[in-house]
Amino acid sequence: MKINTWFGVLETGKAGEILESRLISKDVRELVLYSLSLRDNKSNLPPEGFDPKAAALKCGFVETSAEYYSLLHEVTLEAAKLQVSGALTPDQRIIQAVEALDDVNETTNSLSERLSEWYGGYFPESGLGGEDLALFIAKYGSRENLGPQDPLYPKARNSMGAKLEPADEVLLKGFAESICSLYEQRRQIEIYIEDSMELVAPNLKLVAGPMLGARLISLAGSLEKLAEFPSSTIQVIGASKALFKHLRARAPSPKHGIIYSHPLINTAPWWVRGKIARAVASKLSLAARIDFYSGKKDPSLTEKLETKVLQIRTLNPRPPQKKQVSGAKPKKKRRK
List, in order of start, the domains of the chain with CATH numbers.
Answer: 2-87 (no CATH), 90-195 (1.10.287.4070), 202-315 (1.10.246.90)
Residue from 255, 254, 262 nearest 278 by CA = 255
d(CA 138, CA 184): 14
Residue 209 has a pLDDT of: 93
Task: Kindly give the residue spans of alpha helices, DSSP state H, lying in 201-320.
Answer: 202-208, 210-220, 223-228, 231-236, 240-249, 263-266, 273-293, 300-315
pLDDT given for residue 223 in this prediction: 93
pLDDT of residue 189: 94
- Find, among 31, 37, 32, 39, the residue nearest to 79 by Cα: 32
Q: How far is CA 170 from CA 120, 143, 177, 219, 295, in A?
A: 16, 13, 11, 42, 52
Other beta carbons within 10 angstroms of residue 313's beta carbon come to 15
Rounded to whole angstroms, how far apart are CA atoms 133 and 108? 13
Q: How far apart are CA 206 and CA 299, in angstroms?
A: 8
Predicted local distance difference test score (pLDDT) of residue 256: 80
Closest CA to 146 of 129, 130, 131, 125: 125
pLDDT at 85: 63
Separation of alpha carbons 48 and 219, rounded Å? 45
How far is the C-alpha of 291 from the C-alpha of 53, rounded, in Å?
46
CB atoms within 10 A of CB 6: 18
Q: How many CB atoms lie within 10 A of CB 236?
A: 20
- Check: CB of residue 288 under 8 Å from CB of residue 227: yes
* Res 186: pLDDT: 94
Q: What is the pLDDT along the chain (336 residues), one digit of tens a residue?
A: 788 888 888 888 877 788 888 888 888 888 888 888 887 677 778 887 788 888 888 888 888 989 888 988 888 888 877 776 655 788 989 999 999 999 999 999 999 999 999 999 999 999 999 999 999 999 999 999 998 899 999 999 988 999 999 999 999 999 999 999 999 999 999 999 999 999 999 999 999 999 999 999 999 999 999 999 999 899 988 876 666 666 676 666 677 889 999 999 999 998 999 999 999 999 999 999 999 998 889 999 999 999 999 999 999 888 888 765 555 555 555 665
Q: Are 242 and 254 in contact (CB under 8 A)?
A: yes
**What sign has the CA pseudo-torsion 136, 142, 147, 149?**
positive
